[in-house]
């Protein structure tokens, strides 16, 4: 049975040298961004296989772009919540070394909303101290776009335009209301701006069947970590779902922070049930 003993957890944290955080959609729930699964989840409303596959994009670019435009617009007005800030403070050496001396920390997030990075930048400015930790956004970033050309074009950029192109303007309200009827013509969808390219852009997010970003590095970190904090993820999607198990395989400890007992909770050493926006602070101090 996993323990909920905060004193014992702090003792383990204090002696950990290689700390991993693996976060998921639950981390951003208090920011008003819906999770994927469960009640109110995105995938309850929209079918993942219709939207998060390259084949879906090839079959119906209008439908997939309408969804990502809706999501871009949804995320635009959102801000980091207390859970993001607690994790960001842990990335500041002056704070973390007082809790876990001589430790390293890497935050691997499955979230594409960039809120972890925003919280870290704001924390660095507020404390006037730079972080010594990295955030790995393994499923990409919703505001980044890449060219779909299979040839020479390697266009990749962050695009914060709202809407990303005039053709998608207003479709987000219809999608939010469940109305998918509008079809945006190919020529009116986001196109690569490189002269002579003429191919379509796609969001630089990781769809099913695609290789997560920096996966070799992630697996190496998991094979070495002595503590992994798993925050707000159902741990259903591979390969992220394997990270906790990999840490345990070589004797590392796993602490799960989730609003409910999910799949991976049983194998955890520590289980802290509750909203992470309050629980992380209570446990980490
Ligand atoms: C709170 C809270 C609060 C709520 N406080 N907690 C069969 C066919 C085809 C593929 C596969 C297959 N079987 C397996 C696969 C592989 C596939 C996969 O795992 N599929 C499963 C569905 C079975 N995986 C892949 O294809 C991945 N690639 C891959 O495996 O490549 C091969 C490879 C591996 C290793 C090395 C080299 C190569 C790619 C996965 C891409 C995932 N993409 C998405 C969408 C991103 C945007 C987009 O593209 O549309 O990423 S799916 C979606 O799920 C999103 C998330 O990042 C990801 C994980 O979800 P997450 O974060 O766990 O959210 P939820 O909603 O599931 O859970 C929220 C949790 O929070 C819950 O536990 C709540 O209780 C909790 N919570 N509020 C604390 N306030
Ligand atoms: Zn291009």
pTM recorded for the entire structure? 0.96
Could you tell me the distance, in angstroms and rounded to a whole number, from the CA of residue 241 to the centre of ligand 1? 8
Residue 6 banded pLDDT, cuts 50, 70, 90:
very high
Ligand nearest to the CA of 264: 1
What's the rounded Cα separation, in Å, for the pair 166 and 170?
A: 9
Confidence at residue 48, expressed as pLDDT on a 0 to 100 scale: 73
Could you tell me the distance, in angstroms and rounded to a whole number, from the CA of residue 22 to the centre of ligand 1? 12
- Residue with more model confidence, 14 or 150: 14
> What would the pLDDT profile of 46-91 be if each residue is shown by its tens digit?
777 778 999 999 999 999 999 999 999 999 999 999 999 999 999 9
pLDDT, average across residues 95-122: 98
Confidence at residue 150, expressed as pLDDT on a 0 to 100 scale: 77
> What would the pLDDT profile of 252-284 be if each residue is shown by its tens digit?
999 999 999 977 787 899 999 999 999 999 999
Near ion ligand 2, which residues have CB within 5 Å?
147, 149, 153, 155, 192, 194, 197, 199
pLDDT, average across residues 205-209: 96
Q: Which residues are catalytic?
A: 139
**pLDDT more than 90, % of the chain:** 88
Could you tell me the distance, in angstroms and rounded to a whole number, from the CA of residue 190 to the centre of ligand 2? 11
Q: Is residue 44 scored above 80 in pLDDT?
A: no
pLDDT, average across residues 3-26: 98
Closest C-alpha to ligand 1, atom 24: 238
Q: Please say whether the dihedral angle defined by the alpha carbons of residues 53, 141, 108 and 37, taken in this order, is positive or negative.
A: negative
Choose one of 21, 22, 23, 24 to mutate for the ligand 1 pocket test, by most ligand atoms within 8 angstroms of C-beta.
24
Strands 253-258 and 227-231: parallel
Ligand nearest to the CA of 212: 1
Confidence at residue 173, expressed as pLDDT on a 0 to 100 scale: 95
This model of the complex carries an ipTM of: 0.96
């Amino acid at each position: 049975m996993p323990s909920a003993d905060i004193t014992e957890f702090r003792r383990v944290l204090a002696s950990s040298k290689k700390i991993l955080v693996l976060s998921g959609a639950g981390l951003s729930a208090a920011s008003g961004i819906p999770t994927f699964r469960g009640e109110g989840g995105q995938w309850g409303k929209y079918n993942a296989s219709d939207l998060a596959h390259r084949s879906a994009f090839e079959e119906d670019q209008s439908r997939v772009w309408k969804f990502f435009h809706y999501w871009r617009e949804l995320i635009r007005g959102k801000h980091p919540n207390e859970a993001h800030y607690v994790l960001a403070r842990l990335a500041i050496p002056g704070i973390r070394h007082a809790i876990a001396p001589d430790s390293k920390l890497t935050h691997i997030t499955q979230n594409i909303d960039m809120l972890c990075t925003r919280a870290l930048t704001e924390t660095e400015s507020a404390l006037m101290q730079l972080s010594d930790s990295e955030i790995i956004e393994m499923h990409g970033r919703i505001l980044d776009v890449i060219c779909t050309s299979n040839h020479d074009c390697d266009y990749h950029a962050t695009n914060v335009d709202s809407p990303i192109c005039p053709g998608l303007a207003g479709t987000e309200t219809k999608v939010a209301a469940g109305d998918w009827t509008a079809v945006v013509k190919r020529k009116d969808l986001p196109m690569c701006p490189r002269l002579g390219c003429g191919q379509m852009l796609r969001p630089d997010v990781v769809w099913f069947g695609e290789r997560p970003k920096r996966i070799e590095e992630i697996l190496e970190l998991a094979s070495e970590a002595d503590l992994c904090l798993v925050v707000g993820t159902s741990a259903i999607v591979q390969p992220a779902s394997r990270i906790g198990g990999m840490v345990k395989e070589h004797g590392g400890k796993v602490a799960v922070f989730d609003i409910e007992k999910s799949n991976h909770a049983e194998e955890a050493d520590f289980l802290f049930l509750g909203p992470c926006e309050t629980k992380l602070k209570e446990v980490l101090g």
